[in-house]
């Protein structure tokens, strides 16, 4: 099967510090890949490189058939992202935020469909009056504009209420299974990742120390939290 994302030999230094060390992994169409790692491991940095917010020192990223360095614009058209806490023009309403994103991408947007998908209510208020969870929902909605084939979601369930967490799980599963969208998601909430991810990658101190299929863990009745903690402490 053709890969939707391929990360090859990515390394990144900040000053003298090696933050990412020769990272290699790929994601298939419709696959949900959970990127796990302790605070400071390099998850956000890696995601920023994949969406071209940061430049790698070495290595290569391909999205669909496009090389990020050579065909940046075409590659990025395939991607929607939410990195850390999303930033918005606070005086805009949710509808305006989504329309602005569509204008930026040069595509059409069905605002109502997206707002329904992310369960954003009272969306006619300006963003400055939104709660944390409402902003998070809007951030995910913005990532969906343009129907991307790949979603990069950095801690997307932060700040969501229990109902929001469940709705997000259902949304991600629906996108992956029914629309063949691929998702790279990071979270410290391992019970959630265990429920949505097909494959797990564990990153520690800038190195991808382990990859495993969730089905493999499930078949062996190993819970993700124990597995993660074992892997992270084993390689200390
Ligand atoms: N702009 C920057 N300049 C210098 N160092 C940075 C910069 N951004 C990140 N770092 C460092 O890179 C390392 C990885 O940070 P990163 O934010 O990628 O970790 P993370 O895995 O996302 O952690 P968390 O789980 O806390 O979100 C950390 O040591 C951090 O201090
Ligand atoms: Mg982070």
DSSP string computed for 13-43: EETTEEEEEEEEEEE-TT-EEEEE--TTSSH
Please state the pTM of the whole predicted model. 0.95
Mutation test residue for ligand 1: of 16, 39, 45, the one with most atoms within 8 Å of CB? 45
* Residue 29 confidence (pLDDT): 97
pLDDT digits (tens, 9 = 90+) for 127-186: 999 988 899 899 999 999 999 999 999 999 988 889 889 988 999 999 999 999 999 999
* Residue 235 confidence (pLDDT): 61
Residue 10 in contact with residue 20, Cβ under 8 Å?
yes
pLDDT digits (tens, 9 = 90+) for 111-143: 999 999 998 887 889 999 998 889 989 999 999
Cα pseudo-dihedral 115, 119, 123, 128, rounded to 10: -110
Q: Count CB-CB contacts under 10 A for residue 81.
A: 24
> Is the C-beta atom of 53 inside 6 A of ligand 1?
no
- With a cut of 90, say whether residue 44 has pLDDT above it: yes
Q: Is 100 helix (H, G, I), strand (E, B) or coil?
A: helix
> Is the C-beta atom of 187 inside 6 A of ligand 1?
no
pLDDT band at 46 (very low <50, low <70, confident <90, very high): very high
């Amino acid at each position: 099967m053709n890969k939707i994302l391929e990360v090859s030999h990515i390394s990144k230094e900040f000053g003298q510090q090696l933050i990412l060390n020769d990272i290699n992994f790929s994601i298939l169409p419709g696959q949900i890949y959970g990127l796990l790692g302790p605070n400071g491991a390099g998850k956000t940095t890696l995601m920023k490189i994949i969406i071209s917010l940061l430049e790698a020192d070495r290595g290569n990223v391909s999205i669909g058939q496009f090389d990020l360095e050579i065909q940046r614009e075409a590659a990025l058209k395939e991607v929607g992202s939410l990195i850390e806490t999303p930033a918005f023009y606070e005086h805009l309403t949710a509808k305006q935020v989504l329309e602005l994103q569509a204008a930026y991408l040069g595509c059409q947007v069905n605002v109502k469909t997206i707002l329904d998908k992310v369960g954003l209510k009272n969306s006619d208020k300006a963003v400055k009056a939104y709660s944390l969870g409402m902003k998070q929902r809007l951030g995910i909605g913005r990532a969906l504009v343009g129907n991307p084939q790949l979603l990069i979601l950095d801690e997307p369930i932060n700040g969501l209420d229990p109902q929001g967490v469940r709705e997000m799980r259902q949304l991600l599963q629906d996108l992956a299974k029914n629309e063949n969208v691929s998702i790279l998601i990071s979270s410290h909430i391992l019970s959630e990742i265990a429920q949505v991810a097909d494959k797990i990658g564990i990153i520690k101190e800038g190195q991808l120390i382990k990859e495993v299929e969730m089905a493999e863990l499930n078949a062996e009745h190993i819970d993700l939290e124990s597995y993660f903690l074992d892997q992270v402490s084993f390689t200390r």
